[in-house]
């Protein structure tokens, strides 16, 4: 009987020891879980803070880029406006020029290349010039039967255009080309006259 009691006491002691170990294991597991949870919370918080810093940095960089870009955009728009205004002013001024004067200017310019035109079979197309300019052109090439002078309905700009039959050259003296030349060569003076000096 004592032996059974000894066995029961031993079994009880083993069970108590197992319970204590199980409790220690559970407490350790709970503690480890709390540590892991705290570490996970810290890592999540650090990741969120890093994302917020990165977002803030990118936002500040975008704001700086936008602020830096605005003066350039304003300058580009100002230049675009001035160019359009200058082109329109030139077109309007040239459109107001007496057609006889503009036609005489076109004929004078073509006289410089008259020998080249006379030496080929060519067609002189005229658009928007007065009849005296057409007569002057016909008189200029009267001794060259290979050169004809015709009024063109296909030209988009007032002036004249010379096209040889062999396409060896092309002469164009038009209002649009005069505007382009004035913008290339005299833009500064014309801009100062239209907008005033910017200095």
Q: Say yes or no to pLDDT of 137 above 50.
A: yes
Same domain (yes/no): 8, 51 = yes
Residue 80 belongs to a domain: no
Same domain (yes/no): 10, 55 = yes
Q: What total of structural domains would you count in the chain?
A: 2
Question: Is the Cβ–Cβ distance between 148 and 163 less than 8 Å?
Answer: no
Mean pLDDT of 140-152: 87
Same domain (yes/no): 54, 9 = yes
Q: Say yes or no to pLDDT of 127 above 70.
A: yes
Q: Say yes or no to pLDDT of 44 above 80.
A: yes
Give me the pLDDT at residue 82, please: 87
Same domain (yes/no): 186, 111 = yes
Residue 189 belongs to a domain: yes
Domain boundary among 69, 84, 109: 69
Confidence of residue 94 (pLDDT cuts 50, 70, 90): confident
Mean pLDDT of 91-101: 86
Specify the higher pLDDT residue, 1 or 195. 195
Residue 18 belongs to a domain: yes
Closest CA to 162 of 93, 96, 110: 110
Same domain (yes/no): 53, 127 = no
Q: How far is residue 166's CA from residue 119's CA, in Å, rounded to a whole number?
A: 12
Give me the pLDDT at residue 197, please: 65
Same domain (yes/no): 105, 189 = yes
Same domain (yes/no): 112, 188 = yes
pLDDT digits (tens, 9 = 90+) for 159-186: 999 999 888 888 999 988 888 888 888 8
Cα angle 83-85-87, degrees, rounded to a multiple of 5: 65
Confidence of residue 198 (pLDDT cuts 50, 70, 90): low
- Report pTM: 0.56
Mean pLDDT of 104-117: 89
Give me the pLDDT at residue 1, please: 62
Q: What is the residue range of 188's domain? A: 97-195
- Portion of the chain with pLDDT greater than 70, in percent: 96
Residue 36 belongs to a domain: yes
Residue 88 belongs to a domain: no
Same domain (yes/no): 180, 101 = yes
Residue 82 belongs to a domain: no
| CATH number for 135 | 3.30.2320.30
Same domain (yes/no): 183, 106 = yes
Same domain (yes/no): 65, 133 = no
SS (H, E, C) the chain: CHHHHHHHHHHHHHHHHHHHHHHHHHHHHHHHHHHHHHHHHHHHHHHHHHHHHHHHHHHHHHHHHHHHHHHHHHHHHHHHHHHHHHHHHHHHHHHHCCHHHHHHHHHHHHHCCHHHHHCCCEEEEEECCCHHHHHHHHHHCCCCCCEEEEECCCCCCCEEEEEECCCCCCEEEEHHHHHHHHHHHHHHHHHHHHHCCCC
Going by C-beta distance under 8 Å and a sequence separation of 6 or more, which residues neighbour residue 77? none
Same domain (yes/no): 115, 37 = no
Give me the pLDDT at residue 199, please: 47
Same domain (yes/no): 181, 120 = yes
Mean pLDDT of 62-83: 82
Q: What are phi and psi of 186, to 5 degrees?
A: -125, 20
Give me the pLDDT at residue 96, please: 86
Residue 77 belongs to a domain: no
Residue 81 belongs to a domain: no
Mean pLDDT (the chain, rounded): 85
């Amino acid at each position: 009987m004592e032996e059974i009691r000894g066995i029961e006491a031993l079994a009880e002691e083993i069970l108590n020891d197992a319970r204590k170990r199980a409790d220690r294991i559970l407490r350790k597991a709970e503690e480890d879980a709390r540590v892991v949870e705290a570490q996970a919370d810290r890592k999540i918080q650090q990741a969120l803070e890093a994302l917020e810093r990165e977002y803030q940095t990118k936002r500040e960089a975008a704001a700086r880029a936008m602020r830096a870009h605005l003066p350039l955009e304003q300058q580009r728009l100002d230049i675009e406006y001035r160019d359009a205004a200058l082109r329109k002013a030139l077109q309007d001024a040239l459109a107001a020029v007496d057609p006889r004067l503009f036609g005489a200017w076109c004929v004078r310019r073509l006289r410089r290349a008259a020998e080249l035109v006379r030496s080929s079979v060519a067609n002189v197309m005229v658009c928007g010039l007065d009849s005296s300019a057409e007569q002057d052109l016909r008189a200029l090439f009267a001794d060259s039967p290979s050169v004809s002078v015709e009024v063109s309905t296909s030209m988009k700009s007032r002036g004249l255009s010379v096209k040889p039959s062999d396409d060896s050259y092309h002469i164009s003296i038009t209002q649009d080309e005069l505007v382009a030349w004035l913008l290339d060569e005299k833009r500064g003076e014309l801009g100062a006259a239209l907008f005033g000096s910017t200095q």
